[in-house]
Amino acid sequence: QIPEFDNLYLDMNGIIHQCSHPNDDDVHFRISEDKIFADIFHYLEILFRIIKPRKVFFMAVDGVAPRAKMNQQRGRRFRSAKEAEDKIKKALEKGETLPTEARFDSNCITPGTEFMARLHEHLKYFVNMKISTDKSWQGVTVYLSGHETPGEGEHKIMEFIRSEKAKPHHDPNTRHCLYGLDADLIMLGLTSHEAHFALLREEVRFGGKKSQRACAPEETTFHLLHLSLMREYIDYEFSPVKEKISFGYDIERIIDDWILMGFLVGNDFIPHLPHLHINHDALPLLYRTYMAILPELGGYINENGHLNLKRFEKYLTRLSDFDREHFSEVFVDLKWFESKVGNKYLNEAAGIAAEEARKKEQKKQKAEENSICLAALEKNEGEVVTPKTVSEDEPEDDDLFETEFRQYKRTYYMTKMGVEVVSDDFLADQAECYVQAIQWILHYYYHGVQSWSWYYPYHYAPYLSDIRNISELKIKFELGKPFMPFEQLLAVLPAASKDLLPKCYQHLMISQDSPIIEYYPPDFKTDLNGKQQEWEAVVLIPFIDEKRLLQAMASCNKCLKEEEKQRNTHSACLTYWYDKDAEFQYMSPWPEKFPAIERCHTRYKTIPLDAWHVEITHNKITKINKSALYFCGFPTLKHIKHKFYLRKSGVQVFQQSSHGENMMLEIIADENTKEQMVENVAALVLGKRVFVNWPHLEEARVVAVSDGETKFYLEEPHGTQKLYMGDAVPPAKVSYVGDKEQSMWLKEVQGISEHYQRRKGIILHETSVVVYAQLLTGNRYQLNQNGEVYLEKQWSKQVLPFVYQTVVKDIKAFDSCFSNIKTLDDLFPPGSTAFMLGSPYYGCMGEVQDSCDVITEGRIRVVFNIPCEPHLDPLIQNQHKYSVKYNPAYILASRLGVSGYLVSRFTGSIFIGRGSKKNPHGDHKANVGLNLKFNKKNEEVPGYTKKVGNEWMYSSAVEQLLAEYLERVPELFSYIAKNSQEDIFYEDDIWPGEDENGAEKVQEIVAWLKAHPVSSLSRSSCDLQILDAAIVEKIEEEIEKCKQRKSNKKVRVTVKPHLLYRPLEQQNGVVPDRDAEYRMFDRVVNVRENFSVPVGLRGTIIGIKGASRETDVLFEVLFDEEFLGGLTIRCSPARGYRLPSSALINLSHGSRSEMGNQKLTAIVKPQPAVNNYSSYASDLSSVCSQKVHLGGLNHSPRSLFVPTQVR
C-alpha cells in the first residue's frame, strides 16, 4: 500500500547510472545518448506516478562534492576504469569481437563533463514538457538542482528539508518520500526527526547473479522503507536503558546517538575501525556497549550534530575492550606464537626510544616467556589454551599480553599506514584526526557542509583503544569554498578517462613531465582489509594535494574555450511551476530526437546557492506530533498490545533467513474472552470500516466473521458498497460451517500465522476468530439526491481473510478525500474528457460540451469519437493454428534418443567446475544449461517452455536446440546421463584424456550459448496466461487492416452522469466498471492519465498475470499504436504495456453485455497466484460473485453514479 506523500525527492545519480550502464559485466553493451535521456525521462515518470507527490517534486543531481567525499569518489572511479579495462582484455583474449563504437564511460557521470551539461539541458526540457502537458505535475512545485549546483544530491535534499522545517508555518505532518540507492539515506532520513518519512528504492536481491537484462521500470519491484516504523523499532531496541538512566529518556536523542554509532563502522568519508565489520556483528556490539555505558554518561553523546567529547571518550573507552578481546583470540593461536619466536616481530622497526629504555629488562624475559607459552601448548596437546591457562604458569602474563597487544597494533600502523616509528605523537594525531572526522560528518548530516576542504587523510582508521585523551580537543573547521567542476574532474578521474576533461588539462594526467603525474598511477593495489566484497576494498592511491593541483591547472586555464568556461561554473537550483496564462514555445535541446514544446505553460526562478542554509542551533530538535491521528499508509506499532524481545528467529526479509537476532513482537491475547466470541466480534465489526494487516493498517470493510464453526455474514444485494455507521444494524445472516470449510479455516489461520512470524517477526499465538474483508481500492464520485457531488469509498470485489487479533477498530485516521468538485459543473466542465459506460458507444472517449441547457435535467452533453474496431473473431476461432504446441519431456526424449532426465536437466542449469571432483580448482563454476525454466522463481520462457500444474512442457524449438547441442558435445550428454546423481560436474571428469582440454571445451560451450539467440530470451511468470508471439503478430496484422478502413465517426449525445467515467486523480485505484470480466483477445481502452500509455489509446489483451490480490492483477496489452515508454511484449517495439483493471475499460465486455449474453464459455478469469492465506470461504465468494443480467443494457450498475431510477 502506497500512502499519500506531499514531497518526493530523487537522488538522481542512481537513476542516471541505471539508465546508462545497467550491466557492467557485458562488454558488448552499447547505448546511444538519446536512448539514455529517454530512459531517464521514463524512469522519472514512473517514480512520479508511483508516489504522486502533492506539493513538491525535487530532483537532485550530484554537484561538486566536499573534499572529504572526493577521496572515495576517486577510488571508485579508478577501480571502475580498471575493471572495465580488465573485462575488455579478457573478452579479447577469448577471441570475442567487440563493437566498434566506444563504450559508455560511467565516469562521465561527474559534474562538469559534456555529458552532464547535455543531460542538464534535457532535464530542463523534460520538466517544462511534463508541467505543460501532464495534469498530475501541474499542482506541484518542481525543483531541479543540477550538476552545476555544489553538493551531493542527497545532502542538497536534506538542506532543503532543514530550511522548510525552520519556517514558522512548517507542517509537522508533512509526508516525505526520498528515492535513492544509498544505505546512508536511512541515517539522513532519521536526522530529519520527521514523523512521516519513507525511502523508496528498487527491490534488493541478494545471493543471485545480476540479471543479464536491464529491467524496464514498470517491471521493477520497488520497496518502501518506512522510517516511522524504524523509529519505533529503535525505541524498542534501546528501551532497556529507560529505567537505568538518571536523565530523561528521549527517543529523538537515542536516534541521534544511533546515527553516530553507525558512523563507526565506516562510510563514504572515513574507513571502518579495525575489525569492526557489520557482517561480523559490529552493530549489536556498538548497541550493547552504548546501553551499558549510557547510565554513567549523564546525558547523550550526539547533541543535535555536536559531539559531546567527554561522553564520546567514555563510550570509546568502554568499546575499546573489543580490541583486546579480538586480540586475545589471536594471542592464543599457536601459529601466531610460532611466527613470533622466529622473527622479532618487527621490534627493531617499531621500537620507540622511550619504550626501548623502559622495556630493556623485559626483552630477555620475552623470549623465555614465549618459549614457556609454547611449552605449555606442547604439554597440553589437544587442550584449548586460553590466556588464563597460560597465566597460571606465568604470573607476568598480563604484562606480556599488554606488550604484545601494543606490538600487534604497531604492526598494523607500520604495514597499513607505512609509518616507521609509532610514537605517542603519531597516536595522538590519529585520535584527533578520527574525532575531527566524526564531528565533520555529524555537522554534514545535521547542518550541511562546515568545511569544503577538510578530508580524512588516511586509508585506515586507528584502533579504538588508541583514541584517547580527546575530551579537551578544540575542533574548528574553515568553511572554504567548493572546487570548480574541472578541478574536481582532475581530482577524481583516472588517466583512462582523460577525454572527459578539456584538452588543455589532459597532459597533466599522462605526461611524465606533469607536476602531478604521481596522482594518476596506471596500476594500484586494493586491500579488502577484512571486508568480503571486492567493491568494499580500499583503493590504495595517493590523496591529491589541493595546492599542487590548483598550481598545475593555473597555467592551463587560459586555454579554455568559451563553451568550456561556461561548463566550469557553479549555478543555482531552479524551481518550476505551472501557469496557464504563460504560453510560449520551448525549443528542444535535440530537435531530431525530441520535439519542441509548442505551448509551454511554465514559469521558473533561480534559488541562490546559500538560500537554504540554516544557522546551527544547539539542541534544537523538532518535537514529533504525537497526536492520535493516524496517517493511512504509514505503519505504526501502536493500537495493538504486544511485547517485544530480541531472539534469533531467522526472519526472512531478503530471500533468506536472517542470521542475527530479530526484534520479535508478540501480540498479547485479550483477557476478555467474551469479547473474542464470534457473535460479539460480528456485532462489533460486521459491515463496518476497520484497519487490517497490522502494523501496515490497510482500510477494509468487513463482510463476514467466522470462528471455524459458526459464520456471520452480510446478506446484501450484489455490488453493495455500504458502510453501516454508528448503531446502524447490517443485514446479517448466520450459518454453521461444514467440515470442508472448517479445514479451510484452519489452513487460513495457519497460513496467516506463518506469514506473520516468518516475514514480519510477529508472533500471533492462538486465533479464535477470522474476519473476511474487502480492501479499499479508491474513492469514486457519487451524486446525492440534492444533485451534489461527493466522494464515496470503493471496496475491492475480492474478499480476504485476516485474523481478528491483527484488526484495529476505532482509530482516528487522517482522511485526504478533500475535493474541490462539489457540483456536476465542476465534475464535467466543457472540454474535459469522459468515457461512456452505457450502451451504445460503451468505452468510447468523448469531449464534454457546454451542457448548461441540459444540466438542470441532470444530463451532460458529450461528443464521442467512435473508432473502427478490428475483426478478431476469426482469429480467436483459429488460434490453435498459430499457438505453440508443447509436449512433455518424454516425447522430446524419445525423438532425440535420450532420457527424459537429460531433457529436464539441459533445459535448466548445469554447473561445471574446474579440475575434477577429487581435486577441484577454485570455486568458479560455468553454467552450460539452456536456462529455459526456473523452478524457484516460478518463471518460464514463452515459446520454449511452459509449466502445466507441476509438469514442464517443451516446444519444438527446444527440441531443435537440444538436437544442435547434442550434435556439438555428445560426450557431455553421455557423461551426465551416467552420473545423474551429481549436482555439479567437473571438466577433467567429463574430458579425462590427456589430449582433451576440458577448460577449453567449457569455454567453447559457454561462448556458443552466449552468442545463441536463446541467451537473450525474455522470461515470464508461470502464473501468466499469454498469447504466443505468432498470434500477437496476427492481431497486429488485423489492426493494420482496420486502420486502412478509416471509418472513425463522431456522435453527439446527452448522457446521464452515472454513465460517464472521468479520469481524475481522486479516482485512481477505482475500477471504472466493476462487473467487467477479462479474457484473452478482449479489446480495451486506457482511461488513466498518468501512465506512459496515452489516454484513450485502444489495445488487445495478450496476457493476464494473476496475483493474490485482485488489485494487483496485471493485463498485458498490445496497443494499436506505438508510444513513448511502450514495452516490447512479444509484439512490435514500444506497443506493449502492463496495466491493472483500474486503468482500463473493457470494450469487449460492453459488446458481450449489449448482446445480453453474460454466460459465454472460456472466460479467462485472472486466477490468483499462490495465496499466502489459501482461498477464502466458499459461500462467501458466492456472496461476492453473483452476476446480474443486463438485458439491453443502458447503464452499468457499477458505474461511478448508481442512479436511483433508470429512465
Residue 747: give its domain's CATH number. Answer: 2.170.260.40
Cβ burial of 290 (10 Å; 0-12, 13-18, 19+) is buried
If pLDDT is split at 50, 70 and 90, which confidence band does 624 have? low
Does residue 699 belong to any structural domain of this protein? yes
Nearest to 125 by CA among 585, 564, 485: 585
Quick check: 352 pLDDT over 70?
Answer: no
Give the CATH number of the domain where residue 96 resides. 3.40.50.12390
Distances (CA, A) of 827 to 222, 229, 256, 627: 34, 38, 49, 35
Give the DSSP letter of residue 954: E
Outline where DSSP puts E strands in 933-1091: 933-934, 939-940, 945-948, 951-954, 984-986, 1020-1021, 1024-1026, 1049-1055, 1060-1061, 1083-1086
Q: What is the CA radius of gyration of the chain?
A: 34
User: Would you state the cell numbers that stand for residue 922, as one nine-digit string?
Assistant: 577454485
Burial 340-357 (b: 16+ CB within 10 A, else e): beeeebeeeebbeeebee
**For the segment 402-453, what is each residue's pLDDT rounded down to a tens digit?**
888 888 899 999 999 989 899 999 999 999 999 999 999 999 999 999 999 9
Unique residue bearing C-alpha cell 538512566? 245
> For residues 608 and 839, what is the distance between their CA atoms, to the nearest angstrom?
58
Q: What is the pLDDT of residue 621?
A: 55
Quick check: 364 pLDDT over 90?
Answer: no
Which 3 state secondary structure label does DSSP give 1054?
strand
Mean pLDDT calculated for residue range 254-276: 92
> For residues 492 and 318, what is the distance between their CA atoms, to the nearest angstrom?
38
Q: What is the pLDDT of residue 175?
A: 94
User: Which residues make beta-bridge pairs with 1191?
Assistant: none
Contact 211, 234 (CB under 8 A): no
Contact 738, 774 (CB under 8 A): no
Of the chain, the end-to-end C-alpha distance in Å amounts to: 40
Quick check: 814 pLDDT over 90?
Answer: no
Nearest to 1125 by CA among 285, 48, 13: 48
Which amino acid, 249? Y
Same domain, 711 and 807: yes
Share of the chain above pLDDT 70, in %: 87
Largest CA distance in the chain: 112
Same domain, 989 and 1040: no
Contact 76, 161 (CB under 8 A): no
SS3 content of the chain, % helix, strand, coil (to 5): 40, 20, 45
**For the segment 584-595, what is each residue's pLDDT rounded down to a tens digit?**
999 999 999 899
Contact 46, 217 (CB under 8 A): yes
Same domain, 972 and 1114: no
Q: What is the pLDDT of residue 788?
A: 82
What pTM value is reported for the model?
A: 0.82
Mean pLDDT calculated for residue range 915-933: 87
**For the segment 636-687, what is each residue's pLDDT rounded down to a tens digit?**
999 999 999 999 999 988 777 888 899 999 999 887 776 789 999 999 999 9
> For residues 1034 and 870, what is the distance between their CA atoms, to the nearest angstrom?
11
Quick check: 532 pLDDT over 70?
Answer: no
Cβ burial of 768 (10 Å; 0-12, 13-18, 19+) is middle
Does residue 412 belong to any structural domain of this protein? no
Unique residue bearing C-alpha cell 485472472? 1166
**For the segment 116-159, what is each residue's pLDDT rounded down to a tens digit?**
999 999 999 999 999 999 888 999 999 999 999 999 999 999 99
Contact 709, 737 (CB under 8 A): yes
* H-run or E-run covering 901: helix 900-906
Contact 721, 796 (CB under 8 A): no
Outline where DSSP puts E strands in 208-320: 222-226, 302-303, 306-307
Same domain, 978 and 1043: no
Q: What is the pLDDT of residue 1162?
A: 34
Which 3 state secondary structure label does DSSP give 1027?
coil
> For residues 860 and 823, what is the distance between their CA atoms, to the nearest angstrom?
12
Contact 104, 30 (CB under 8 A): yes
Quick check: 384 pLDDT over 70?
Answer: no
Does residue 43 belong to any structural domain of this protein? yes
> For residues 593 and 602, what is the distance between their CA atoms, to the nearest angstrom?
22
Burial 217-240 (b: 16+ CB within 10 A, else e): bbeeeeebebbbbbbbebbebbee
Contact 1060, 855 (CB under 8 A): no
Contact 10, 58 (CB under 8 A): yes
User: Would you state the cell numbers that stand for residue 126, as one nine-digit string?
Assistant: 523534460
Same domain, 55 and 203: yes
**For the segment 49-74, what is each residue's pLDDT rounded down to a tens digit?**
899 999 999 999 999 999 999 988 99
Q: Where a domain ends, among 1022, 1055, 1089?
A: 1022
Residues 6+ apart with CB under 8 A from 816: 4, 632
> For residues 704 and 769, what is the distance between their CA atoms, to the nearest angstrom?
11
Same domain, 857 and 889: no
Q: What is the pLDDT of residue 397?
A: 62
Quick check: 16 pLDDT over 50?
Answer: yes
Q: What is the pLDDT of residue 628?
A: 61
Domain span holding position 1008: 884-1022
Contact 660, 284 (CB under 8 A): yes
Same domain, 1004 and 1042: no
Q: What is the pLDDT of residue 87?
A: 84
Contact 628, 814 (CB under 8 A): no
Mean pLDDT calculated for residue range 533-537: 73
Q: What is the pLDDT of residue 275?
A: 85
Does residue 985 belong to any structural domain of this protein? yes
Same domain, 214 and 188: yes
Quick check: 353 pLDDT over 60?
Answer: no
Q: Where a domain ends, among 766, 786, 814?
A: 814
> For residues 775 and 702, what is the distance between their CA atoms, to the nearest angstrom?
9
Quick check: 392 pLDDT over 70?
Answer: no
Same domain, 52 and 164: yes
How many CA atoms lie within 13 Å of 256's alpha carbon, on the beta-carbon side?
A: 24
Does residue 346 belong to any structural domain of this protein? no
Give the CATH number of the domain where residue 1095 resides. 2.30.30.750
Lowest mean pLDDT among 144-148, 219-223, 426-430, 792-796: 219-223
Residues 6+ apart with CB under 8 A from 201: 179, 180, 181, 222, 223, 225
> For residues 82 and 522, what is the distance between their CA atoms, to the nearest angstrom?
9
Contact 1106, 1168 (CB under 8 A): yes
Does residue 778 belong to any structural domain of this protein? yes
Q: Where a domain ends, among 991, 1022, 1053?
A: 1022
359 in the Ramachandran plot: left (φ > 0), alpha (ψ -120 to 50) or beta? alpha
Tell me which long-range contacts 398-406 makes (C-beta under 8 A, separation of at least 24): 399/362, 400/366, 400/369, 401/328, 401/331, 403/359, 403/362, 403/366, 404/327, 404/331, 404/340, 405/323, 405/324, 405/327, 405/331
If pLDDT is split at 50, 70 and 90, which confidence band does 616 have? confident
Same domain, 81 and 179: yes
If pLDDT is split at 50, 70 and 90, which confidence band does 1205 have? very low
Does residue 283 belong to any structural domain of this protein? no
Does residue 607 belong to any structural domain of this protein? no
> For residues 599 and 123, what is the distance between their CA atoms, to the nearest angstrom?
18
Same domain, 847 and 949: no
CB atoms within 10 A of CB 1008: 15
Q: What is the DSSP string of 171-217?
A: -TT-EEEEE-S-THHHHHHHHTT-SEEEEEEEPP--SSPPPSSPPPG
Which amino acid, 911? F
275 in the Ramachandran plot: left (φ > 0), alpha (ψ -120 to 50) or beta? left
> For residues 223 and 204, what is the distance between their CA atoms, to the nearest angstrom?
8
Same domain, 1080 and 1098: yes
Q: What is the pLDDT of residue 1178?
A: 37
Nearest to 162 by CA among 610, 606, 613, 607: 613
The whole-chain average pLDDT of the chain stands at 84
| Domains in the chain, number | 4
Mean pLDDT calculated for residue range 252-259: 96
**For the segment 971-1008, what is each residue's pLDDT rounded down to a tens digit?**
999 999 999 888 899 999 999 987 788 888 888 898 88
Q: What is the pLDDT of residue 380?
A: 37
Lowest mean pLDDT among 250-264, 575-589, 1060-1074: 1060-1074
> For residues 810 and 553, what is the distance between their CA atoms, to the nearest angstrom?
68
